[in-house]
Structure 1
């Protein structure tokens, strides 16, 4: 399987981001804490070009907290400010706002010396589709400032969102790279819902997801789907999961379509527990 997804509007989005970067002080890169590497857009560093940047590990409530801690250390060792985030968590919100202000302070001090004492911090949030960007903006603003949707590529156009905390956010559509050089990353993006469902085949994504869980989280398969032997062919794991979830056709045969949908829903909703699919890269000697 070769997953490719680069809707035409994303080319326009890339140009728009380049045009508006001069108007912002800080860029926040929003990643999925379950797949920080897979959800990182290779174009971001090129686009930012030295602009102060922070990393937000969103959906941290669905990720393995131990792995999230390791990812935080990974970014901090590279002098990249980072904060785990779960929309709805007030403490997370305070930490994020504090980090944004801290990162923007040198720029605000510069404006202060020029006589602009009450200038707001101008923030741009970049992230691939469906990593929760609109929901995060709504949470920070305390209102439905940006539209939200459960499908990738929903946000269109440009809008500024004024925050009471002295922050102006420039909301832009998510961007995704034009070619998946790493199909493992593509499969993980599909599993988390970052890639539209009509672009990939669940019958190829779900077995890979189950194989990954059998290797890294075998107890999950045992506890949720009552699979004693996780070292089976992924198709047999799917059959066992489908049977456990009641995905059966008349006569007792497995309804594979329903079984695949059930497994994806269980993973995305957190029913399988807090899971991180992307391991932290090993440190170079």
Structure 2
């Protein structure tokens, strides 16, 4: 799915993050526990270098706890990465992040120097709410929609820690086509940048396979169908998402499904697993290899020219004639 949303302020924010990175001791990346891979900004991995990174899996109360544990193990396999789970209603646990920062930067914590931490995350991941809890006061504007924070700011958390806050940043190109659907389903992009029907079909297809019992219970369906369209039709009938004459209103039922997924009414759901990630990366590598191969073939075809046998014969004769002329010129000199 193509998400056409990379506003100018995001480009500016990414540039400012790169410029401020040299002053930072530790990076804190806030992820959505329901989509740890899709909410992880690949640009951060490119510029992080060897700086320690604390990945916060926020909204863990909405995610599948078994999958969250698997994702933590997967993420911590990367050098210098530690993970921590939080939810917006557990203030006491969120405040433990301060101690984690000090422990990770123990050498600097033991000195009189300030620990500089930079916090970042995709839009609508709950970063601003987390900052307000850590600062114990309202610092960052919050809102249940993407792109609330627009400018970088520095916040003194006390305990010798200064937090560099950054705007929610997406990245210009989504390499994995599934990432766009998951970002849209979780609310990381504005609804105006997505098609509810497309996202609804994607979510329905995944949910009836990964969480069939939850879907049956939530939509009061005894036997789930095999396809997403059949499921949506049944769900629409159960919820009254119908047009005149009893026709299914697909847009309406997709909207219901997405909103209930985001709010947690469907249950604790994770939209991707580490195993899925491995398989999708393999598929992406195959697609990339095919693109390179096709490009090389086009280059070779252009180099050879799309000549008919007759044109090819005439070309060879012209080249022979030029070679003869060149040889005669050399003899004269």
Q: TM-score, normalization: structure 1?
A: 0.90
Tell me the distance in 1 between the aligned counterparts of 2:32 and 2:220.
28
Aligned to 1:101: 102
Alignment of 1:1-285 (within 5 A): 1-79=1-79, 80-109=81-110, 112=111, 117=112, 119-281=113-275
By how many angstroms is 1:251 displaced?
4.1
Would the alpha carbon gap of residues 204 and 225 (structure 1) be closer, same or farther in structure 2, given more than 3 Å must change? same
Are the equivalent residues in 2 in contact too, given 1:26–1:104 (CA < 8 A)? yes
Q: 1:30 is paired with a residue of what secondary structure?
A: strand
Secondary structure at 2:57 match in 1? strand
Q: Is the 8 A contact 1:58 1:84 kept in 2?
A: yes
Matches of 1:66 and 1:165 in 2, distance apart? 34
Distance 1:46 1:77 in 2: 17
Contact 2:124 2:146 (C-alpha < 8 Å) held by counterparts: yes
- Decide whether aligned partners of structure 1 residues 283 and 182 sit closer, same or farther in structure 2, where only a CA change above 3 A counts: closer
In the alignment, the residues of structure 2 paired with residue 55 and residue 208 of structure 1 have an alpha-carbon distance, to the nearest angstrom, of 27
TM-superposition CA deviations, 1:173-226 (whole Å, max 9, x none): 011110111111110111000111111111111011011011110001100002
Measured on the aligned residues, the alpha-carbon RMSD in Å equals 1.9
Contact 1:140 1:163 in 2 (8 A): yes
Q: Bigger shift: 124-133 or 234-243?
A: 234-243
Kindly state the Cα deviation for residue 250 of structure 1 after the two structures are TM-superposed: 4.2
More helix by share: 2
- Supply the distance in 2 between the matched residues of 1:145 and 1:24 (Cα, whole angstroms): 20
Residues 283 and 42 (structure 1 numbering): CA distance in 2 closer, same or farther, change over 3 Å?
closer
Please give the secondary structure, in 1, of the residue aligned with 2:224: coil
Distance in 1, matches of 2:274 and 2:92, equals: 25
Moved over 6 A (4+): none
| TM-score using structure 2 length | 0.78
Unaligned segments of structure 2, at least 5 residues: 280-333
Q: Report how many aligned residue pairs link the two structures.
A: 277
Cα distance in 1 for residues equivalent to 2:66 and 2:145 = 29
Structure having greater relative contact order (Cα 8 Å, sep ≥ 6): 1
Shift in CA distance, 283/191, structure 1 to aligned 2, threshold 3 Å: closer
Distance in 2, Cα, partners of 1:85 & 1:5: 27
Distance in 1, Cα, partners of 2:105 & 2:4? 36
Unaligned runs of 5+ in 1: none
1:283 Cα deviation from its structure 2 partner: 8.0
